[in-house]
Amino acid sequence: MSRSVLVTGGNRGIGLAVARAFAARGDAVAVTHRGSGVPDGLLAIRCDVTDPAQVDRAFTEAEEAHGPVEIVVANAGITDDRLALRTRDGEFHRVLDTNLAGAFRTARRAAQSMLVNRRGRMIFVSSVAGLRGSPGQTSYAASKAGLVGLARSLARELAPCGVTANVVAPGLVETDMTGELSERRREEILREVPLRRTAAPGEIAAAVVWLASEEAGYVTGAVVPVDGGLGMGH
Ligand SMILES: NC(=O)c1ccc[n+]([C@@H]2O[C@H](COP(=O)([O-])OP(=O)(O)OC[C@H]3O[C@@H](n4cnc5c(N)ncnc54)[C@H](OP(=O)(O)O)[C@@H]3O)[C@@H](O)[C@H]2O)c1
């Protein structure tokens, strides 16, 4: 059965892989972008998650095209790597506003119709950095750790209404985001990854699709690591 899915930041990287994985199984998929457009087969919706009005409008557009959103993937995210002592308030807030508050706005809007229909799946894309910490990534790690508290609170709040909320915590994935890492930093991280390789975006998408499946109906408040073993124990 085709479901109505919305993925934030679905124009590239992990979000695009997630959107394609849902589309491949026959779902009606809306993806947000900030002006780049999206590949064919996906409904492109312009939205910056730092603006609550744009988030609201994005859901309205998705609902008009595909019906109430049954699966939402809060994926949009940024990094702004610098040492804590060199991080200005505005820089810290920008990362939190996008990664954490953006996911909150997305989930809050998604909850409206999920509560009425008494079903829904929320999936938050966090990071191993949020669980084990990462030097030079205080804002990013704080935002990603915050997603765990956000998802687990939503999981408790919305469980009586048939809505699950889970987190996927990727390790190092081959996207534009990690393309910015220096070769030295990339090698440092890979030395700590038991599987000794990066992930393909599709490997993260597979976990997201599973969390949205009927088979995962009894899973809520979970943090699913897809990190080659990097975060083990965290
Ligand atoms: N790559 C990794 O190794 C890795 C590891 C762990 C977790 N993650 C997480 O996975 C998610 C996707 O990352 P990625 O690696 O695919 O990164 P990416 O290729 O840089 O893509 C980031 C996506 O987020 C969107 N975005 C950024 N700010 C936004 C905003 N204010 N409003 C709406 N959309 C916004 C981007 O849109 P534009 O194209 O308009 O910029 C883009 O679609 C992020 O949350 C990231 O933290 C990534």
pTM over 0.85: yes
* Cα 15 from Cα 3, distance rounded (Å): 17
**Which atom of ligand 1 has the smallest separation from the CA of 172?**
3
pLDDT tens sequence across 185-209: 899 999 999 999 999 999 999 999 9
* CATH code: domain of residue 145: 3.40.50.720
Ligand 1 atom 45 nearest Cα: 77
Looking at residue 1, its pLDDT comes to 87
Q: List all residues whose CB is within 6 A of at least one atom of ligand 1.
A: 8-9, 11-15, 32-34, 36, 47-50, 75-78, 98, 102, 125, 127, 170, 172-173, 175-178
Tell me whether residue 176 is in a domain: yes
Residues whose CB falls within 8 Å of the CB of residue 130, separated by 6 or more in sequence, listed in order? 140, 141, 142, 143, 144, 145, 146, 147, 148, 169
Confidence of residue 109 (pLDDT cuts 50, 70, 90): very high
| Position 234 pLDDT exceeds 90 | no
Tell me whether residue 27 is in a domain: yes
| Position 49 pLDDT exceeds 90 | yes
Token output for 193: 């990854």
Containing structural domain, residue 167: 4-226
The domain tally of the chain equals: 1
pLDDT tens sequence across 57-71: 999 999 999 999 999
Average pLDDT over all residues of the chain:
97
Percent over 70 (pLDDT), the chain: 100
Tell me whether residue 233 is in a domain: no
Tell me whether residue 184 is in a domain: yes
Ligand 1 atom 21 nearest Cα: 13
Tell me whether residue 232 is in a domain: no
